[in-house]
């Protein structure tokens, strides 16, 4: 059997092409793996990774879909005194459990909480602050109305984008005030802990991932795990097909969160200048190319774990092809039964490898008869 008919030859493109494909798989894997590891390292710092920025500043047709993944994306709950009271009470209970506060410490912490809530109520009741909050909410309502209206004109959409930037600055200012109160409370509660409590329990830090109360933490965790696992799988050639599909899914989300389409505003989180094609799309297409080749069986852990079964199947297929190629009729015996005639009732002549009546064949091949005259 010729090498071109070999099942392994059909998959193996040659040394240089195989080397290039394996190198492409490894460098894409390293890119994703290091991104995941870097995000893991930030979890122990004060500047931990969060996907909020990419979701909040998502653009394009799916921009609002991505923004809605953020809990309280516009901060309306943090500008409501009742929601603030519930959140601060939950934080106090978490610290009290961590340090093991006694009744006197709990009473003092509750007193500090009540004083800060009174300060917050006075701030919200101030006419200037109240008007700023109302204008902010009205701006958000107007922006959503324009963006969701299919009949909005281009200049209305442009004005809405500019207004969104201004509204986001207002949101950061308002939410920053509320966060400042929460940080002051946390510091005062930590000071209530005795040296023995601090030595026993250690200083309190909010959980890295509050999966029960924050949907955004689920997204952050899924992003970190997805980047790390897919990157490692591509580098090591482990579950390579699944890793490629996961990588393609992540790259599709990254691309759609800020597509470089004409007329779509550039996200502040994007890098470089693109039109239709950006680095995410380039990497995505590269992964599609890798899906077309079994590189994991050339170099990778998949070859060690699953290569024997694949080699056995390839050997069986090669044996079948070899037996077909060695048959006297060149493999046509599979389709014939003895001297069965063809569809026109003519017999097959194994000597001349022609089908039909020998006399008619001779006449047809003689000069002047090739066109049927």
Question: Model confidence over 69-108: pLDDT tens digits?
Answer: 998 999 999 999 999 999 999 999 999 999 999 999 999 9
Whether 204 has a pLDDT exceeding 60, the answer reads: yes
Q: What is the pLDDT of residues 267-326, one digit of tens each?
A: 766 777 888 999 999 999 999 999 999 998 899 999 888 876 776 776 677 777 777 666
Axis crossing angle, helix 215-236 with helix 240-257, rounded to the nearest 10: 130
Give the containing element (helix H, strand E) for 62: none
pLDDT of residue 313: 73
Percent of the chain scored above 70 by pLDDT? 81
Rounded to the nearest 5 percent, the helix, strand and coil shares of the chain are 70, 0, 30
Higher pLDDT, 205 or 136: 136
In sequence order, the β-bridge partners of residue 167 are none
| Residue 111 banded pLDDT, cuts 50, 70, 90 | very high
Distance CA 346, CA 338 (A): 13
3-state SS assignment for residue 263: coil
Please provide the DSSP assignment of 156-185 as one string: HHHHHHHHHHHHHHHHHHHHHHHHHHHHHH
Whether 217 has a pLDDT exceeding 60, the answer reads: yes
Q: Which of 1-10, 63-72, 128-137, 191-200 is the least confident region?
A: 1-10
Q: Are 236 and 300 in contact (CB under 8 A)?
A: yes
CA dist 171 to 6, 127, 179, Å?
65, 17, 12
Would you say the pTM of this structure is higher than 0.75?
no
pLDDT of residue 274: 85
Q: Are 88 and 116 in contact (CB under 8 A)?
A: yes
Distance CA 265, CA 59 (A): 7
pLDDT of residue 230: 98
| b (16+ CB within 10 A) / e for 230-250 | bbbbbbbbbbbeebbebbbeb
Mean pLDDT to the nearest integer, 354-372:
45
Mean pLDDT to the nearest integer, 229-252:
97
Give the containing element (helix H, strand E) for 355: strand 354-355
Mean pLDDT to the nearest integer, 52-79:
90
Distance CA 230, CA 32 (A): 7
Higher pLDDT, 230 or 316: 230
Domain ranges of the chain: 72-213, 332-365
Q: What is residue 346's DSSP assignment? A: P
Instruction: Name the token pair of 18.
Output: 């195989």
Q: What is the pLDDT of residues 250-282, one digit of tens each?
A: 999 999 998 998 877 777 667 778 889 999 999
Whether 353 has a pLDDT exceeding 50, the answer reads: no
Give the containing element (helix H, strand E) for 29: helix 15-42
| Residue 4 banded pLDDT, cuts 50, 70, 90 | very low
Higher pLDDT, 238 or 47: 238
- Average pLDDT over the chain reads 84
């Amino acid at each position: 059997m010729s090498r071109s008919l070999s099942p392994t030859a059909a998959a193996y493109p040659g040394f240089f092409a195989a080397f290039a494909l394996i190198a492409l798989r490894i460098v894409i894997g390293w890119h994703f793996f290091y991104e995941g590891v870097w995000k893991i390292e930030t979890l122990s710092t004060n500047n931990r990774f969060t996907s909020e920025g990419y979701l909040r500043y998502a653009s394009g047709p799916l921009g609002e879909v991505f923004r809605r993944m953020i809990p309280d994306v516009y901060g309306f709950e943090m500008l409501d005194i009742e929601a603030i009271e519930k959140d601060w009470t939950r934080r106090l209970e978490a610290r009290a459990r961590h340090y093991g506060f006694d009744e006197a410490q709990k009473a003092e912490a509750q007193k500090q909480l009540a004083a800060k809530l009174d300060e917050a109520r006075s701030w919200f009741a101030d006419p200037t602050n109240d008007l700023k909050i109302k204008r902010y909410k009205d701006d958000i309502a107007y922006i959503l109305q324009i963006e969701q209206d299919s009949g909005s004109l281009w200049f209305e959409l442009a004005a809405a984008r500019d207004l969104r930037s201004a509204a986001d600055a207002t949101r950061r200012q308002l939410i920053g005030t509320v966060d400042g109160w929460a940080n002051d409370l946390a510091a005062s509660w930590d000071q209530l802990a005795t040296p023995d409590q601090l030595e026993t329990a250690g200083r309190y830090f909010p959980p890295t991932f509050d999966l029960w109360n924050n949907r955004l933490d689920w997204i952050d965790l899924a992003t970190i795990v997805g980047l790390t696992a897919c990157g490692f799988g591509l580098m090591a050639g482990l579950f390579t097909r699944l890793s490629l599909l996961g990588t393609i899914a992540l790259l599709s989300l990254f691309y759609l969160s800020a597509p470089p389409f004409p007329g779509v505003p550039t996200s502040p989180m994007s890098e470089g200048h693109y039109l239709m094609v950006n680095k995410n799309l380039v990497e995505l297409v590269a992964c599609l190319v890798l899906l077309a080749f079994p590189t994991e069986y050339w170099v990778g852990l998949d070859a060690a774990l699953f290569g024997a079964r694949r080699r056995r199947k390839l050997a069986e297929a090669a044996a079948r092809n070899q037996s077909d190629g060695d048959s006297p009729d060149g493999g046509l015996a599979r389709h014939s039964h003895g001297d069965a005639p063809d569809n026109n009732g003519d017999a097959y002549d194994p000597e001349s490898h022609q089908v039909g009546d020998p006399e008619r064949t001779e006449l047809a091949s003689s000069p002047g008869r090739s066109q049927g005259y």
